[in-house]
Amino acid sequence: MTAKLPTLRFTKFQIFVHVAALLPLVVLIIDALRGNLSYNPIQEATFRTGKTAMILLVASLACTPANTLFGFTPAIKVRRALGLYAFLYALVHFTIYIGVDYGFDLRLVLLELEEKRYVIVGFAAFLILLALTLTSTKGMQRRLKKNWKKLHKWVYAAGILVMFHFIWVQKSDIREPLIWTGVLGLLLLLRWQPVRTRILSFRTSRRAGRRKPRPTEPAKVSEPEPAAQ
């Protein structure tokens, strides 16, 4: 008897997320092959992959608030995929940086770690994402049990480190990094228990108001017909 392979079923929203997550990488490869990566292709590729990793990481952090606070349940089904895609782009970003830019010369990389703070926080964020990716399977979740949730809360630290990395890389014009930092701050605020409780309470009260039964009208009592004379 041959073992049946599990059937993969994706919703339209999941397909959209997978396509949207892979599209920047496809565009990057096409631009690289055509020589459309500006006058400094290595820097352009490094920036693109880093920014995409940041966006996907923020999107993965938005999934739980979207579900628990606003009732958007499809977000939960793509949360893990978004986190893995964020790591994929971070890995490409890191590989371009130390491989293409520095030729895997660890001595030069260590000098960069000593001299540039954005490299330190970026590398720390990458190590956190690496640990989260390696423990993202259901098997690891069963093995780690309660420690799994504790470990995966480090994703918040990774998000904060990424924002510092983005701000320090930009140096002069930090308007865009500050906008993304504000978005991350809002997501973390929505996860704060007092805020979360208030929003859930508000949603519950609204649902109860919508389902409140209408007052029934009093039954009409028909008057007896006059007796036939």
pLDDT per residue as tens, the chain (229 positions): 455 545 567 899 999 999 999 999 999 999 999 988 888 899 999 999 999 999 999 999 999 999 888 888 999 999 999 999 999 999 999 999 888 877 888 888 888 887 888 999 999 999 999 999 999 998 999 999 889 999 999 999 999 999 999 999 987 788 999 999 999 999 999 888 888 888 888 777 777 766 655 555 544 444 444 443 3
pLDDT, residue 110, reads 83
pLDDT, residue 18, reads 96
pLDDT, residue 77, reads 92
Long-range CB contacts for residues 59-65, cutoff 8 Å, separation at least 24: 59/86, 60/86, 60/155, 61/155, 61/156, 61/159, 61/184, 61/187, 61/188, 62/187, 64/191, 65/187, 65/190, 65/191
30 by Cβ neighbours in 10 Å (0-12 / 13-18 / 19+) ranks as exposed
Specify whether the backbone of 38 is left (phi greater than 0), alpha (psi in -120 to 50) or beta. Answer: left
Start-to-end Cα distance in the chain: 91
- How far is the C-alpha of 133 from the C-alpha of 218, rounded, in Å? 64
* 53, 94 contact by CB (below 8 A): no
pLDDT, residue 225, reads 43
DSSP single-letter state for residue 229: -
Residues 6+ apart with CB under 8 A from 31: 37
pLDDT, residue 213, reads 55
User: In whole angstroms, what separates CA 12 from the centre of its chain?
Assistant: 18
Q: Of 105, 65, 59, which is closest to residue 82 (Cα–Cα)?
A: 59
pLDDT, residue 171, reads 76
Q: From the CB of residue 210, how many other CB atoms can be counted at a distance below 10 Å?
A: 7
CA angle centred on 32, ends 28 and 38, rounded to 5°: 95
- Where helices occur in 102-153 by DSSP H, the ranges are 106-115, 117-134, 138-144, 146-152
